[in-house]
Amino acid sequence: MPNDSNAIDATAAPMTAAPLEGVPPATAAALGDAQRQAVSELLRVSPVADDLARRFAAAGHALALVGGSVRDALLGRLGNDLDFTTDARPEEVLRIVRPWADAVWEVGIAFGTVGCHKQDFQIEITTYRSESYDRTSRKPEVVYGDSIEEDLVRRDFTVNAMAVALPQKVFIDPHNGLDDLARRELRTPGTPQASFSDDPLRMMRAARFASQLGFTVAGEVVAAMTEMAGRISIVSAERVREELNKLVLGGRPRRGLALLVDTGLAGQVLPELPALRLELDEHHRHKDVYEHSLTVLEQAIGLEEPGKPDLVLRLAALLHDIGKPKTRRFEKDGRVSFHHHEVVGAKLTKARLSRLKYPNDVIRDVSRLVELHLRFHGYGTGEWTDSAVRRYVRDAGPLLDRLHKLTRSDCTTRNKRKAQALSRAYDDLEARIERLKEQEELDAIRPDLNGNEIMDILAIPPGPQVGRAYQHLLELRLEHGPLGREAAEAALREWWQRQ
C-alpha cells in the first residue's frame, strides 16, 4: 500500500458514508454518496481491471486506475474508457498487454501512453511521468517518474489527481481531490501558475470542465488563468480546437465560454467572441450581442435531439453574429444597423475555424449556416412565392434542419407578441416546405432534363454550354415547379435559339 495519509482501501469501511470529523454535513453526505458510487462502478470494471493488474504485478510492476476514470467513478458516470498509470516503461507495457488485449495501438507511445482494447473497454496505460513546456515549444517534454505520488502531482486538477491502486483497490488522494469533488470545485495540486506553465492547455480544460461537469473554478485558478492567458499561444491549434469542441458540446457551455471571455483566453483563441460584448443588437437593444449569442446557443441546444449534441449547430449559434462589430453603423435617426453582417460573419467564421484546423466539412457547414441565418427575415407574414421557398430549401441543402433550429433559436426578444409572431411565421414556412416536398420531392430538386438528355436534344458535346443549359432548366424548375419532359424540351430549345 502506498505510504500516504490519504490512501484508503476502497473495499473497506472508509468508503462508506461514515461522518467525517470537521467536514460540513452536506459535504460529508456528498463524500459518502461518491464513495458508494465508486464502489459500484469499480465492481463493474473489476474483472478486466483486476486481470490486467495481476499481469502487471506478476511482471513486478504497479498499476492504478487514475485521473478522469476515478473522478467519473466517484460521480457515478464511469464509462468504458479506462485510464491507468504504471511504473512500467512503455516497452514493458507493450510486452505485458500484447498477449492479453484484443487489439493494441501505439499512437501515444512517444508520450508514454499505450492504448488497447479488451472486450468492451478502451484502455490507455501511461507510464508515471511529468510534462513541461519551454517558452517556445508547442510539444511537451516527457520525463518518466518512479512513483504514483510524483505522477499525481503533475495532474491538471485535484479532482483528476486521485487513483485506485489495483488489484488491492487502495484509494490514493494526496491532494484532497475527493473533498474538491464533493464541493464541485476545480483546484490544482500545486500552484495554478506552475500547473499552467507546465501545460497551458489546462487553462482551457478548466473552462471545459465548467461546461461538462458544472464545476466552479477556484478564485486563485481564475486569477492564474487571467494572468497567464497569453501562454496559450504556444499550444497547437489542434489541441485548442479539441478542448473548445468538448466545451461547446458540454452540458453548460455558457459557463465555460464566459470563463474563457472573462479571463482573456477567448481573446487568444476565439477573439471574435469577446469582440461582441459591447455591440448593441439592432433588434434587442436591452442586451448586447455577446449575451444574445450565448442565449441563442442555449436555445439551439434545447432544440437538439436528446443525447445527440450537434457541434455544427452549436458553433453556428455561437458565431452567427460575429460579423456585427465590423458592420456596425450609427444611422441618422439614432438606430444602429449591421447591414450584411451575415456575409461578413460567414467569412470571419471560415477564417477562424480554418486557423483552429477544423475539418473542411465543419468549416463549410458552419459558415453556410452563418451566411443563411438572416434569410428567413424576408419571409414576413408569408409573402414569399413558392419559388422563393424552393430557393430557401435549395440554398440550405442538407443543412435545412439545422437552419430551422438556428433561425428559431435566434429569437431572444422579451416581447412575447413579437416572439409569437415570429414563431407562427416560421411554422407557416416549415408547413409550406413540407407541402412542396410532398408535391415535388423538394429534397432532390433537379431540372426535368438531365445532362445527357440536354446533349441529345441540342446535339452538343460535353462542355460549358451543357452546364449553362442545365442551370437555365434548374431556374425554371425553381420558379415554376415541375414542367414535364415535353414542356422542358420546348423551353430548352427556345433558350438555345436565343443563345
Lowest mean pLDDT among 36-45, 49-58, 353-362: 36-45
Q: What is the DSSP string of 282-313?
A: SS-TTSBHHHHHHHHHHHHHHTSPTT---HHH
User: Exposure of 453 by Cβ count < 10 A (0-12 exposed, 13-18 middle, 19+ buried)?
Assistant: middle
State the pLDDT at residue 239: 95
State the pLDDT at residue 376: 87
The yes or no reply on domain 7-182 and CATH 3.30.460.10 is yes
Q: Place 37 in a pLDDT band, splitting at 50, 70 and 90.
A: low
Strand, helix or coil for residue 64:
strand
In words, the CATH class of domain 184-270 is mainly alpha
State the pLDDT at residue 9: 45
Choose the most confident range, by mean pLDDT, from 25-39, 264-278, 382-396, 401-415. 264-278
pLDDT at 83 over 60: yes
Phi-psi category of 459—alpha, beta or left, where left has phi over 0 and alpha has psi -120 to 50?
Answer: left
State the pLDDT at residue 388: 87
Phi-psi category of 105—alpha, beta or left, where left has phi over 0 and alpha has psi -120 to 50?
Answer: beta
pLDDT at 13 over 80: no
Spatial distance between the Cα atoms of 422 and 379, rounded to a whole number of angstroms = 10
Lowest mean pLDDT among 25-39, 181-195, 433-447: 25-39
Strand, helix or coil for residue 87:
coil
Lowest mean pLDDT among 9-23, 45-59, 88-102, 163-177: 9-23
Spatial distance between the Cα atoms of 481 and 477, rounded to a whole number of angstroms = 5
* pLDDT tens, position by position, 189-244: 999 999 998 889 999 999 999 999 999 999 999 999 999 999 999 999 999 999 99
Q: Rounded mean pLDDT of the chain?
A: 86
Q: For the chain, give every residue range classified as CATH 1.10.110.30.
A: 184-270
Higher local confidence (pLDDT), 463 or 209 = 209
- pTM recorded for the entire structure: 0.78
C-alpha cell belonging to residue 368: 453556410
Contact between 312 and 366 (Cβ < 8 Å): yes
Q: For the chain, give every residue range classified as CATH 3.30.460.10.
A: 7-182
State the pLDDT at residue 10: 44
* pLDDT tens, position by position, 302-321: 999 999 999 999 999 999 99
Q: Place 363 in a pLDDT band, splitting at 50, 70 and 90.
A: very high
Higher local confidence (pLDDT), 45 or 309 = 309
* pLDDT tens, position by position, 397-444: 899 999 999 999 998 877 788 888 888 888 888 888 888 877 766 556
Spatial distance between the Cα atoms of 247 and 238, rounded to a whole number of angstroms = 14
Mean pLDDT computed over 334-359: 91
Q: What is the DSSP string of 172-200?
A: E-TT-HHHHHHHTEE--SS-HHHHHHH-T
Beta strands 141-144; 129-132: pairing state:
antiparallel
**Alpha helical stretches, state H, 135-249:** 148-152, 177-183, 192-198, 201-212, 219-227, 237-248
pLDDT at 44 over 80: no
- Which one-letter amino acid corresponds to residue 483? L
Spatial distance between the Cα atoms of 166 and 62, rounded to a whole number of angstroms = 8
Closest CA to 69 of 38, 23, 28: 38
State the pLDDT at residue 331: 76
Q: Place 18 in a pLDDT band, splitting at 50, 70 and 90.
A: very low
